[in-house]
Amino acid sequence: MSDLESLSAEERERVQMRREIIDDLDEEFELSLEDDAGGISSLDAEDRAFRRVYFRELVRLQGELIKLQDWVQATGHRVVVLFEGRDAAGKGGAIKRITQRLNPRTCRVAALPAPNDRERTQWYFQRYVAHLPAAGEIVLFDRSWYNRAGVERVMGFCTDEEYEEFFRSVPEFERMLASSGIQIIKFWFSITDDEQEARFRARMDDPLKQWKLSPMDLESRKRWEAYTLAKEVMLERSSIPEAPWWVVQGVDKKKARLNCISHLLSLVPYQPVSRPEVVLPPRIYHPDYERQPTPESMIVPELY
């Protein structure tokens, strides 16, 4: 029996809350924290040991992502990465760690809101096409056109005919993208029923994270089995050789991030790109230049 399993329900919830808080801290800040009471020391020895491995591997993998970014820019390669999965499965955390050290002009996130009245009358894929990458760009879709196979199907936001048309169209749509030179990578983040409930409860009790709980998220708890069926159908009917699905086991967030980034790197045929040496030019001084003082009314108050 693990240390967590030996605790009462109330104690387990407190430990889960501490883990959620610690997990949300910036990685570099986490590295500088000391093992003080109630902080990282509240985790067991195995968790603390893995944290050290996690940070080393994360920094190493992020270094590889920078090499991938340089190669994409140099070659004009185009990459689309789709992130789908259960609510609270860790998609956002993985996206954050992927983009954390990359150039936002090269790697950007597309997180589209619900379609408006005009968009509902368009070709279904039309609003997503506008966010596809140009040469030398990477686009990460935080949820994608697979909304139709998931939330729209489960919540009744599309008709049976629209649902079937999606599965007829999506393989051809993705083959068209692939034939035009866009590489498509599709991740599904999977967690257990119990883990999702624990993460939802942690969000409910944390005022900094309550915004993450939408009415749709809460509704998804009631429809767990319907979402499971929709996911199984989606993976079966839309995994094609040009754009297969990859399932990330997301119960352990940190392992899920490392596994996702590592697999992403393995799927793109990037190579190191040589960079010209950066030389800092000398400052040019002009004897007639005099810096003007900034008006006090424009200065931000120094409260800290």
Least confident residue range of 34-48, 83-97, 221-235: 34-48
Least confident residue range of 38-52, 161-175, 214-228: 38-52
DSSP at 291: P
> pLDDT above 70 covers what percent of the chain?
91
Least confident residue range of 23-27, 86-90, 110-114: 23-27
Rounded to two decimals, the pTM is 0.85
Q: What is the mean pLDDT of residues 291-303?
A: 95
* Direct distance between the N- and C-terminal alpha carbons of the chain, in angstroms, rounded to an integer: 47
Decide which of 31 and 97 is more confident. Answer: 97
Q: What is the mean pLDDT of residues 64-85?
A: 98
Residue 8: which pLDDT band, with cuts at 50, 70 and 90?
Answer: confident
Asked whether residue 41 carries a pLDDT value surpassing 70, the answer given is no
CA distance 213 to 139: 25
Q: Residue 65: its pLDDT value, please?
A: 98
Q: Residue 34: its pLDDT value, please?
A: 44
Q: Residue 37: its pLDDT value, please?
A: 41
Run of H or E including 179 = helix 160-179
Grouping H, G, I as helix, E, B as strand and the rest as coil, residue 213 is: coil
CA distance 179 to 271: 22
Asked whether residue 225 carries a pLDDT value surpassing 80, the answer given is yes
Asked whether residue 228 carries a pLDDT value surpassing 90, the answer given is yes
Residue 25: which pLDDT band, with cuts at 50, 70 and 90?
Answer: low
